Structure 1
Amino acid sequence: MARQMISRLEQTAELDAVSDRLQGVVQRVVKSRRLQDLLHGTWLGHPLHPALVQLPVGAFVSAAVLDALPGQHKPATTLIAVGMAGAAPAIAAGYVDWSALSRHQRRVGLVHAAANTVALGLYAGSLAARLSGRRGLGKLLGYAGLSAAGAGAYLGGHLSFEQGAQMNHGSSEVLRLPEDWAEIGEVAALPEGKPTVRTIGDVRVLLYRLGDDVTAMVERCGHQGGPLGEGEVTGTGGEACVVCPWHGSTFRLRDGYVMHGPASGDQSTLRTRIRDGMLSVATP
């Protein structure tokens, strides 16, 4: 039943009107590239949103446990207040990540956000009831909020692990490459200071040559799988970067280091070896 509901949700085009408008709002509000990188977790090398949700989730679950015990009203109330405060940065990071997803992913993400909004509303009501002395109502609303948050978490898990949102799409490409050294061709045939694409089996690899040094990275962008080989190159020499043509993730060509999001991790790179003027690559 749950799988069928999720499948229908992914195909519900009626959500696109709301999703597209909300995406535009998020992108207009969060214009700063520095703020975007902060919320994506680019500086951390890991998506920030999953880390931030640990505080509100932990606080809400702990409050539910304390509510089941006698004489724990005050600490449970404190935990709900802490959880609501901790939800704010998690929401901000989540919306920025969501705004850079594909349309079918954003459909699920929209309902995920709606479920969590309902949960926060219930927790706000729970906190108000507790502070006014209506403990029974406060507990009831708290458990209802936890149920709504659980539904939101289920959708968030589907979004991440089934639809691949904020996962490194380049890492799976590495697994498809041979473990032994695979010969690419003559180093002299590679243009100096300009990325080029070669194929090993059916995996596209982006090569960048600086003198006698060659960097090899997976050509499929780790964010959403965009073709880096078609991206714009900015900068020169060791600071040259390639910009993904799909969502603008920017990676330094000499080592795959992520400079700007929405990608939050470095681009997957390969080992390189040059013998007798011939370049070979191998998995890390």
Structure 2
Amino acid sequence: MRMMTRLEEARSLDPVSDRLQAAVQAVARPRLLRDLLHGTWLGHSLHPVLVQLPVGSFVSAAVLDLLPGRRRAATTLIAVGTAAVAPAVAAGLLDWSQLTRDRRRVGLVHAGANAVATGLYAASLFARLRGRTARGKALGFAGLSVAGLGAYLGGHLSYALSAGVNQAAPEIARIPQEWTPVGSLASLPDGSPAVRTVADVSVLVYRRGDRVSALIERCGHETGPLGKGEVTGSGADACVVCPWHGSVFRLADGAVVHGPAASDQPVLRARVRDGMVELCRP
């Protein structure tokens, strides 16, 4: 863990990280492409899904390499896994480009380890196709070892540094289970969101006539202040745009419309009773 802390604080990686980030964002300008790779359409990050194919292929190939008479099957799996790396890398790099610097430092080494592992597997495939099975197996096991390091760093990013998770979701647990008043209906602007506080949690409240919806105000992607975001559209289709990274959420139900956020913004239960707006935990 001390090594991970030192890696998170390794500012010497920032020049490379910043240049790569700029390059990734320059290439992935079309919104449709960004939404596709972020996994906005899927409901969570696409990168972990795409990783399953190369990881599964490489691990399966390693098992077959330990068994007699499985050379052709192992070679096929190495070929499939190597080819499947490209889309996983594309999605991972785009997610990485939206992270804070400390997490990008870890992610840069994570990507570097996986690049080395992919190179070893490509060399393994080349050796196998030339009939050098023993060398191919050795390179394959070396690739799996380096990929294991990359997987450890990826796990650290997700579980220790909360990269790629909905960072607004834990706020729901702080909302009271009992109905809590946040003000009168008349005090809320019609057709425009307002920020209110429930048990020290910032909440975005949106009124449409007599209807009220409420979202956790901090963006689930990187905790940007949605209360300071631009509102687009109107009525049931009105959306708020996160001022930090541009994620777009529908105010009526918290649905994510555009990334980099890949999951919906957490919503609260809302009702109007005796002219007062009340909220509670879902």
TM-score of the aligned structures, taking structure 2 as reference length: 0.99
Map of 2:268 onto structure 1: 270
Query: What CA distance in whole angstroms lies between the structure 1 residues aligned with 2:133 and 2:200?
Result: 62
Does residue 104 in structure 1 map to residue 108 in structure 2? no
Cα offset for 1:181? Answer: 1.2
Query: What CA distance in whole angstroms lies between the structure 1 residues aligned with 2:268 and 2:103?
Result: 30
Does residue 65 in structure 1 map to residue 63 in structure 2? yes
Query: Percent identical across equivalent pairs?
Result: 64
Map of 2:217 onto structure 1: 219
Map of 1:253 onto structure 2: 251
Map of 2:14 onto structure 1: 16
Query: What CA distance in whole angstroms lies between the structure 2 residues aligned with 1:248 and 1:173?
Result: 21
Q: Point out where structure 1 has 5 or more consecutive residues left out of the alignment.
A: none
Per-residue CA distance 1:86-134 (angstroms, 9 max, x = gap): 1111110000101111111110000000000000000001000101111
Query: What CA distance in whole angstroms lies between the structure 1 residues aligned with 2:133 and 2:2?
Result: 38
Q: Which runs of 4+ in 1 moved over 2 A?
A: none
Map of 1:130 onto structure 2: 128
Does residue 88 in structure 1 map to residue 119 in structure 2? no
Map of 2:229 onto structure 1: 231
Equivalence map 1:162-201=2 (5 Å) = 162-201=160-199
Map of 1:281 onto structure 2: 279
Map of 1:161 onto structure 2: 159
Residue 244 (structure 1) aligned to one of 230, 242, 245: 242
3-state SS of paired residue (1:53): helix
Cα offset for 1:201? Answer: 1.7
Q: Point out where structure 2 has 5 or more consecutive residues left out of the alignment.
A: none
Cα offset for 1:184? Answer: 1.1
Cα offset for 1:58? Answer: 0.3
Query: What CA distance in whole angstroms lies between the structure 2 residues aligned with 1:179 and 1:63?
Result: 50
Query: What CA distance in whole angstroms lies between the structure 1 residues aligned with 2:62 and 2:177?
Result: 49
Query: What CA distance in whole angstroms lies between the structure 2 residues aligned with 1:182 and 1:65?
Result: 57
Name the amino acid aligned to 2:69.
G
Alpha-carbon RMSD across the aligned residues, in angstroms, is 0.7
Residue 6 (structure 1) aligned to one of 4, 22, 32: 4
Query: What CA distance in whole angstroms lies between the structure 2 residues aligned with 1:11 and 1:116?
Result: 21
Does residue 146 in structure 1 map to residue 144 in structure 2? yes
3-state SS of paired residue (2:218): coil
TM-score of the aligned structures, taking structure 1 as reference length: 0.98
